[in-house]
Structures are given as C-alpha cells and as structure tokens.
Amino acid sequence: MNNYLDIAPEVQKALAEGRPVVALESTIISHGMPYPQNVETALQVEKIIRQRGAVPATIAIIGGHLKAGLSPAEIDYLGRTGTKVPKASRRDLPILVAKGMDGATTVTTTMMIAAMAGIEVFATGGIGGVHRGAETTMDISADLEELAETPVMVICAGAKSILDLGLTLEYLETKGVTVIGYGTEELPAFYTRKSGFGVDYRLDTPQELAEAFHVKRTLGLRGGMLVTNPIPEEYSMDADTINEAIDKAVAACKTLGIHGKETTPFLLSRIKDITGGDSLDSNIQLVYNNARLAADTACALCELEAAE
C-alpha cells in the first residue's frame, strides 16, 4: 500500500500522536464550484478544522498517488484544472493509479483512502444516494455501498435533495447503515433543514457521536456511520423555491440525456443558475457547518480513545 498511498507529514504526525484528523473530499473542489471560489472554500474549510483543534486531510489522487492531505498548491491545482480532473469513484481507482493520472475523490473514494490512512472522521457537503427514477435507471450512488463497508464516520447535511430521499433511506437501512440526525429527528435535505423523512436516531453532542462510533468499532461491526447535520437556519433555503429549481433541473437532465456520474454535477450547476447563485452560497455554508462538527467529533473521539 505504501507504494500508492501518500500521507502528508502533518497528517502522519497527527495520526502517530493520536491527535484528531478530519478527511475532506476533493470532488467539491474540481466539480462543485467555479474557480477561485472552490479553492477559497477548500482552504477556509481546512482553516475551520484547525481552529477547532483538528488536522485537515483533503484527499485526492494526484499523479497516480492516493493523497491523504494536500498542500495549498495542490488544492489550487485541482481548483484551476476543474472538471478536467476525472471524478473518481471506486471503479476508477485501479486505472487512475496504474496510469499515473489525477482524480477528484467522491464520498466513496474519500472514505476508502481515509480508511487506508487510519482517518476515522470525514466531513462533506451531502452524500449521493438513490436517484429519482432509479427503479428504471438503476442509478444508485456507490456512496451507499461504501457506507455499508468502510469504517469511517461521514458527517454531511443529508443526502443531496436532487435524490429520492425515501428510497435512499430504505437502501441504507437494508445495508445496515445507522443514520443519525444531529440535534434533529428529521433527515435534513441538504439545502433545507427538513425533508419529511425520519432518521434512525437523534444525538445532540459531538461526545455522543464519538461514543456511538467508538462502540460500533469496538463491537467489530463493519461499515461506517452517517451523521446528518442540518444546514444552519439562517442559510436554509425556502423549500418551495429549491424544490421548484430541482424539478426544473431534473427535467433538463432528462431532456439532454445526461446520466451516470455526470448527473449530480449537472444538476447542482443548473440549480445554482436557476436560484441565481443562492444554492451555491447555501452549499458553502453547510460545508463549513459540517467541518466544525466533524472537527469537534474527531477531538471527542480522540479523547475517548486516549482515556481507555
């Protein structure tokens, strides 16, 4: 594994010393926002995590190497290169590494590389899930399978609201993935705090989150844990407005015949255009919010493990 996995010195030192580390994905840099806003956001997320006492580890594939922790120059490179960097899911890793290529990691591949490096907590915007119409298209994100297999706690603002949230929850239940609402009994819907669907459990503190994940690992149960953290009230969008934008974006997606891994970037971009950029502003704020909770949870997890 050492031939392919590069752990940044700052991250390696923190892990060796038992200090908290938070993984971050890179698809949001290359495919989620325009330059230079993508780079500014990525660097601000890392700053937030450091301010909360943890070490950030932005994850990507660069030159065929699985990178756990990027330099500011590497983050800038991903931001400038943008969508020319392949979006890398589990199926893409062998080819990208074998050919010495770059890759922007999704939730799936960020979880995989974080687990390889020994990082237990991961902050992102929203997970993928079961797409609308999946009963005929079979378009289901690999994120759900990874949550069932890989021992990483994922902290997000819920499944992206472009998805079929009910079927996404059913899929996660089938795979045995615990869905936790942070301070809520209702699944957040990314841009909004409510969805009409319930979560499995409500927990209210980072310490409770850390204890739940610690017990899961101690019991030897495989797979990760999903923490859904509602977007802050002041940045939550009006449900009718965002749902109307999503419906228009989904209709455009069908008309243009867009499918597979191009679906989510297209829908998020179209929603941003329809909402006049409001959705992008909300997206940025929910990522900051998740970074804060992830850092606090990683710190609590380290304290718990150090006490044993």
* Domain residue ranges in the chain: 1-119, 125-308
CA-closest candidate to residue 192, choices 244, 260, 140, 141: 244
Could you give the count of Cα atoms lying within 13 Å of 250 in the half-sphere of its Cβ? 15
Residues 6+ apart with CB under 8 A from 307: none
CATH code that applies to domain 1-119: 3.40.1790.10
Catalytic annotation, residues: 25, 160
Query: Which pLDDT score, from 0 to 100, does residue 298 have?
Result: 98
Residues 6+ apart with CB under 8 A from 242: 161, 191, 192, 271, 275, 279
Q: What CATH class does 125-308 carry? A: alpha beta
What pLDDT digit, counting tens, does each position of 177-208 carry? 999 999 999 999 888 898 889 999 999 999 99
Query: Which pLDDT score, from 0 to 100, does residue 261 have?
Result: 64
Diameter of the chain measured on Cα atoms:
57
Could you give the count of Cα atoms lying within 13 Å of 174 in the half-sphere of its Cβ? 9
What average pLDDT does range 273-285 have in this prediction? Answer: 79
What average pLDDT does range 137-159 have in this prediction? Answer: 92
Residue 60 scores a pLDDT above 90? yes
